Structure 1
Amino acid sequence: MPRLTLRSWLTVMACAAGLIAVSAVSPARAETALSARTSWLGNSFGFGDGTWTQINITAIAVSPDGKVYTNAPWDESGAEASVYQDGKMLGFAGGTHGWGNAGGNAIAINRKYAFVAIAVGNEKGHLVAPGVWPEKGKQWFGISRRLIADPKRVAPFQPAVNNADPHAQLAAGFLMLNEVPTGTDAEIGGLAANDTTLYAANTARNRIEVYDAESMQRKASWDVHEPGRIALAPDGTVWVLSGTRSDAAPRIEHYTASGQRIEEQLTLPADTVAVDIAVDAQGRLLIADNGPRQQVLFFTKHDGRYAQSGSLGERGGIFSGVAGQPGPRRFNGLTGVGVDARGNVYVSTNGIGPRYAPIGAGLGATLESYAPDGKRNWQVEGLLFVDGAWIDPDPARPDSVYTGNKRFELDLSKPPGQDWKYAGFLSNRFKYPDDPVFHTDQYPGLPIARRLKGRTFLYLTDMYADHLKIYRFDPRHDGETAIPSGFIAGRERGVAKVPNAPPGGDWIWRDTNGDGRFDADEFTLNTSGAKLAGGWGWWVDTAGDIWRARDTKGIYRFRFGGLDAKGNPVYAYSNLTQYPVPQPFTEVHRAIYDPASDTMYVTGYTADAPTLRGFWKEVGRVLVRYDQWSSGKPVPRYTIALPWQPDGKPVVTIIGLTVEGQYVFGVEAVGAVHVWDKDSGKELGVIRPGPEVGRASGWVDVPNGISAAKRSDGEYLIFVEEDARGKVLMYRWKP
């Protein structure tokens, strides 16, 4: 989950409750509404009808009639536990997000209840009510019981300490299994239920616990090493994954309903990483394999032993054939498997698997249904989180769009929401395990794509503008995969888990041998004498130079040094230019340079328009265009007072900026885009989210959350990061 300021946190909480519709904002000054069509990328639903696909799915439970109940630790707008059927989102449970609550990695259902694994905290001691929240310094892990007919309704099994308090009502239906010090992982690893009994995998305690499904009183328990997912067979026996936390390859164990071990002859294929298990009506086992196979494996019992009897999915999943190309049966990071009474199989994925803390919610959730013959029935996708979009700079692909770790293709002849197609997943953890997407905690990153020396490169800034990742492409050998090529590190903390990274941060890495791995001899430390970490502005210009706006330290320019023998862009501390903070600024937060006209657009704060505590990702309050930037005596052409209403509800500030064609585009923190003429500085008007997305946007919570592209017919596509509901907004505007 992104780290937020108090104002961001309160706004996101309001957004999670559906309270932010930017059309309701009352600007401090009159504005001209620009006529634009709103669409989006990356989610099956745009929120026009109030629905969206959650950004992560780590567990599923399937009802006999094909309803799929999901769970995950986090969805930005509170849909951690949701319900889907026939390719539609039916609703979500709520009460799993904010005010101390979080989702989890397990869910089970019977004919009456949904049992949802959740976590409960106290917001660093700010939430105080005995029996409702844990004491300061403690955290709870347990199970929330909901009515299956309406999971928003708690199914209490103990008195509420205060019937007037909705949080106390939630607590009346919460079974606490583990109370641990804050920061300790003691989550529930698996759940399974029938009409009388609930089985819970208490992974941290190395046991299966058995509860009465009505009274929620514990009836029994038995020891299992690090138990995870659980499945109940038609004969009442219990299948359990064991060794799910520390073992490289979890095992499958079989027990009677009372916990006696049943010795089965069941051997998983080599390299299998079992992450979930289900049993169909015929007693056939379905095992979700998140290893290199990326398949669902079927096992059937013959002559007293279980043998593999089939599989669902292409072997290798999305990484087979053209690596990164999505499609039916091309799974990517399996997290869950289930089956309904008709034999339809349901598979959830999130791009990585059920246990990967740094990025689990950043690689994209999918939920799919397959008929018994393997044909896909339906799919829903929630592919983007803390992500932006940038048009492909390859002139042969004008309808291709990059995000932080995906590629989409557009067909603008189609209606909003149907005008995009998921075309490529860029991160290949099997071939390039050193990819910093898997070793930094700032999600894949915000994209800038450039065409240099006839080749396409992707530059990704993180949501705190700390570092810059650089990727190259080799479609002939790597399909859609973005190959790690370069990296400019900021502070030590953000890059501490990058393989072989030298201590202290502030280094440059380049893949000099072309293998995509971070070898120890490929790092160059900053020996310039001045620390270069810090600052909010990254920009890569069309000539390949990298610009870094560093608050009070000025503007730094890494000059593009061509391509090395392996096709990597070359940047070096020895080829770095520093520019002082230009007048009238006291701090610079963005610096956007156009080499074709030698023009620089700088934003930040001045003595007359100072910064305000708590507003730290914004571009600032003032924009100045400078001509003849490289002359040594840049000439200010105009100054713009940017929208700044910090006491607005929601606040009105500009958090992202880009320049394209004839215009400067700036986005407010809740998705509204201001457009200025880049020659005169005159504001033309504002574009706000349309009915296609419910006239709503979540918080733009990143410093590089807007881009624009002018098409050959004069239309502009404007892309805006949208935290709340798993997508990127796309505005279509023709002046």
Structure 2
Amino acid sequence: MACALVVSYAKAAPVLDAKTSWIGNTSGFGDGAWTQINITAIAVAPDGRVFTNAPWDESGAEASVYRDGKVLGVAGGTHGWGAAGGNAVAVNSRYVFVAVGVGNEKGRLVKEGVWPSKGRYWSGVSRREIGNVQRAVPFDGGGMTKTLASDKDPRAMLARSFLTVNDTPDDARQDIGGLAASDASLYVANTAQDRIESYNAQSMQKNGQWSAPQPGRIALAPDGSLWAIVESLGEHPRIAHYAASGALIDDAPRLPADNIAADIALDQQGRLLIADNGPRQQVIFFTKQGKAFRESGALGERGGIFAGVAGKPGPRRFNGLTGVGVDASGNVYVSTNGVGVHDGPIGAGLGATLESYAPNGALRWQVQGLLFVDGAWIDPGRPDSVYTGNKRFELDLSKPAGQEWKYAGFLSGRFKYPDDPVFHVDQWPGLPIARRLEGRTFLYLTDMYADHLKIYRFDEKRDGELAIPSGFIAGRARPVRNVPNRPEGGEWIWRDSNGDGRFDTNEFRRNQGKARLAGGWGWWVDARGDIWRTSDVRGIHRLRYGGLDKQGNPIYDYADIQTYAVPAPFTELRRAVYDAPSDTMYVTGYTSDEPFDSRYWKEVGRRLVRYDHWSSGPAARYSIDLPWDTQARPLSTIIGVTVEGQYVFAVEPVGDVHVYDKDSGREVGVIRPGPEVGHASGWVDVPNGVSAHRRGNGEYLVFVEEDARGKVMMYRWTPKS
């Protein structure tokens, strides 16, 4: 192989004149605000302030406050290094009560009264001021000790305002399922203990408790009685009504068999509101008629986002209801996360929305935090359409920064396609590559750890915006253990032979050859449909596209694997990006002089080499010395790379994008986040975190995964001629 020109990394690369924008979040952080990535519970104050909670938001907004479509504040103290959010929140006239968790980071947090002992976990309630949720309101008792009474440490302050409800082993956590409050009392649904507990809202001393089967969300009525969703962890939750004493009142409505009650609230008219996360995807109203409550109306289109044109978002087209509440004016507030409350962390990737509706059902406002651990790729069939892991957006680039995008499609049909691997193989949908093959668009999704590859097809007439599970290439056994009907182990290909989107036993094919696809950090799908899999030390595998089957699925077969040896000068590989029309390959990795450092295990490596004539006789054209300064703060390495038009785009973990001329390897400059996003980008935490598209007018759209604040960065750059 011919020697390549070595291009050294220019530390002082010029900053390019690129416009900064984003997609997928109502706010871009230019003013310090963003919509959280998941909402699993809401509480509404009489004046229309909405208080939220969720187990996780990447930048700590688990418990936030919204009003009139704007973020008013973030509680803090619910995120990271021993702290977690939860699935319940309640308010009275003085306080906000937030369900939270407290851990000890495997024994590394040891202060008595502040953290549980090693191996233990506290689930409980944090009390905050309703006018300033960042202010914790202490009380005697809870998880504190007397020695913390005057401790000014912020965590000690939080400990003094924390009520420990359950103290359990760390691997057997018992989270709070629901909260309700009056000025006098706080009620806690202790789901795992099958009881509802009552506390004095001022002293936080326990008043009493009564038995209730798996209580979830609860709501307090004006007469002091309590409504509850019980058997909340089962397939058919039901409604129970309790007197203040805990005695059952026999007037609760019977829910339809397919109703999945997610939340409960009461309005000023005395109506009961149930957020139904079953196939109806509606808020259902129940009114007292005689001795019992009976259904009297609904808010939302029946079927939600899956009605009519499936996957098309819009007002009253709910998708994964998690919360409902009402203010003093009768306005209704609804939260969704794309899946529901009890489906683990996948909710932090399917899209959070918070909406307000007037009493007549008209949309008042909406905020959206739609993306997490997600990238973007222009739809090859529609130049102003862009795919993310499970959504589609439409672009109008004539609009101001942050307003160019419109949410146009939700791709994951959990009722029609319950086997969709997005619900079974990892916590987030995946990073997209969209390709046009034989006049049809296909979506390929890599996961956060580059283990497996999902393949989807589309049928707009039959399925609207939904992506139909079409194919799947498995890597290691453990990440795919929940795929329905899978064979034992990894190394198999599934193809939807009968076109029903289900994983049938006879549709799997095991890898019987010697070339193993499991392991490695590189996936690439070229414009002709060939799949490239980069192994760390076993070379680069090419899985050739075999056309479409009668159902319209791309065909891939282990018998069609071709393996290329690790090319000089590399000793370990990380990425391989192939340009099919020019037969050019761009490879990244490590050399004997620039070895792999296990502390930086997601990086693309320290060197990029372009090889011409890859299929017939690779010739190295140039070798780029990529940014690599592990002592810098922030860290300066490369986490993702792509090729488009005339340029190679390489992104750092902190979001800076280095741009190289693809013919010479010369660095043209670097793109950095601008004031529109507060000059800030979250950590790029995935192997395929950057993509680019050259528009017809010569402008480049560069998309970068942005973990921190629920969006994907979109940079607009036009090279100077």
TM (norm. structure 2) is 0.97
Distance 1:183 1:49 in 2: 39
Give 1:28 deviation, angstroms: 8.4
- Residue type of the partner of 1:336? G
The one-character-per-residue Cα deviations of 1:207-241 (angstroms, maximum 9, x if unpaired) are: 00000001000001000000000001122210011
Q: Would you say the 8 A contact 1:442–1:462 is kept in 2?
A: no
Q: Look up the match of 2:143.
A: none
Q: Look up the match of 1:721.
A: 705
Q: Does residue 482 of structure 1 match 2:467?
A: yes
Q: Look up the match of 2:488.
A: 503
Q: Look up the match of 2:246.
A: 259
Distance 2:336 2:407 in 1: 15
Q: Look up the match of 1:83.
A: 65
Q: Secondary structure at the match of 2:133?
A: strand
Q: Look up the match of 1:178.
A: 166
Give 1:539 deviation, angstroms: 0.3
Distance 2:379 2:81 in 1: 41
Aligned with residue 646 of structure 1, among 601, 616, 630 = 630
Distance 1:446 1:455 in 2: 20
- Residue type of the partner of 2:433? I
The one-character-per-residue Cα deviations of 1:141-168 (angstroms, maximum 9, x if unpaired) are: 0000011111111000035356131111
- Residue type of the partner of 2:170? T
Aligned with residue 549 of structure 2, among 564, 570, 581 = 564
Q: Does residue 268 of structure 1 match 2:265?
A: no
- Residue type of the partner of 1:724? A
Q: Look up the match of 1:326.
A: 313
The one-character-per-residue Cα deviations of 1:495-520 (angstroms, maximum 9, x if unpaired) are: 00000111111110000110000001
- Residue type of the partner of 1:503? E
Q: Secondary structure at the match of 1:167?
A: helix
Give ranges in structure 1 of 5+ residues lacking alignment. Answer: 1-26
Aligned with residue 676 of structure 2, among 667, 678, 692 = 692
Residues 657-696 of structure 1 correspond to what in structure 2 (within 5 A)?
Answer: 657-696=641-680
Give 1:457 deviation, angstroms: 0.1
Q: Does residue 366 of structure 1 match 2:348?
A: no
Q: Secondary structure at the match of 1:150?
A: coil
Q: Would you say the 8 A contact 2:420–2:469 is kept in 1?
A: yes
Give 1:265 deviation, angstroms: 5.0
Distance 1:527 1:201 in 2: 52
Q: Look up the match of 1:19.
A: none
Q: Would you say the 8 A contact 1:28–1:645 is kept in 2?
A: no
Q: Look up the match of 1:17.
A: none
Aligned with residue 101 of structure 1, among 83, 89, 102 = 83
- Residue type of the partner of 2:27? F
The one-character-per-residue Cα deviations of 1:626-646 (angstroms, maximum 9, x if unpaired) are: 000001x20000000000011
Residues 290-329 of structure 1 correspond to what in structure 2 (within 5 A)?
Answer: 290-329=277-316
Runs of 4 or more, structure 1, over 4 Å off, are none
- Residue type of the partner of 1:649? R
Distance 1:207 1:281 in 2: 28
Q: Look up the match of 2:17.
A: 35
The one-character-per-residue Cα deviations of 1:662-716 (angstroms, maximum 9, x if unpaired) are: 0000000011100000000000000000000000011000000000000010000
Q: Look up the match of 1:137.
A: 119
Aligned with residue 217 of structure 1, among 201, 205, 210 = 205
- Residue type of the partner of 1:711? R
Give 1:358 deviation, angstroms: 4.6
Q: Does residue 594 of structure 1 match 2:579?
A: yes
Q: Look up the match of 1:13.
A: none
Q: Secondary structure at the match of 1:630?
A: coil
Residues 63-462 of structure 1 correspond to what in structure 2 (within 5 A)?
Answer: 63-158=45-140, 160=148, 163-245=151-233, 247-264=234-251, 266-394=253-381, 397-462=382-447
Give 1:270 deviation, angstroms: 2.9
Q: CA RMSD in A?
A: 1.0
Q: Would you say the 8 A contact 1:358–1:438 is kept in 2?
A: no
Q: Does residue 617 of structure 1 match 2:599?
A: no
Q: Would you say the 8 A contact 1:358–1:441 is kept in 2?
A: no
Distance 2:366 2:171 in 1: 35
The one-character-per-residue Cα deviations of 1:586-643 (angstroms, maximum 9, x if unpaired) are: 0110000011001000000001111112111111000000000001x20000000000
Q: Look up the match of 1:732.
A: 716
Q: Would you say the 8 A contact 2:475–2:518 is kept in 1?
A: yes
Aligned with residue 492 of structure 1, among 466, 477, 487 = 477
Distance 2:639 2:72 in 1: 34
Give 1:364 deviation, angstroms: 0.5
Q: Does residue 548 of structure 1 match 2:530?
A: no
Q: Secondary structure at the match of 1:139?
A: strand
Q: Secondary structure at the match of 1:692?
A: helix
Q: Look up the match of 1:23.
A: none
- Residue type of the partner of 1:193? A
Q: Does residue 467 of structure 1 match 2:452?
A: yes
Aligned with residue 48 of structure 1, among 30, 33, 43 = 30
Q: Would you say the 8 A contact 1:409–1:423 is kept in 2?
A: yes
The one-character-per-residue Cα deviations of 1:466-487 (angstroms, maximum 9, x if unpaired) are: 0000000000000000000000
- Residue type of the partner of 2:293? Y
Give ranges in structure 2 of 5+ residues lacking alignment. Answer: 1-8, 141-145
Distance 1:545 1:162 in 2: 65
**Relative to structure 2, which stretch is displaced further, 255-264 or 557-566?**
255-264
Q: Look up the match of 2:522.
A: 537
Distance 2:585 2:252 in 1: 70
Give 1:82 deviation, angstroms: 0.2
**Relative to structure 2, which stretch is displaced further, 356-365 or 288-297?**
356-365
Distance 1:323 1:162 in 2: 57
Q: Secondary structure at the match of 2:596?
A: coil
Distance 1:626 1:552 in 2: 18
Give 1:31 deviation, angstroms: 1.8
Give percent identity, aligned residues only.
70
Distance 2:42 2:470 in 1: 37
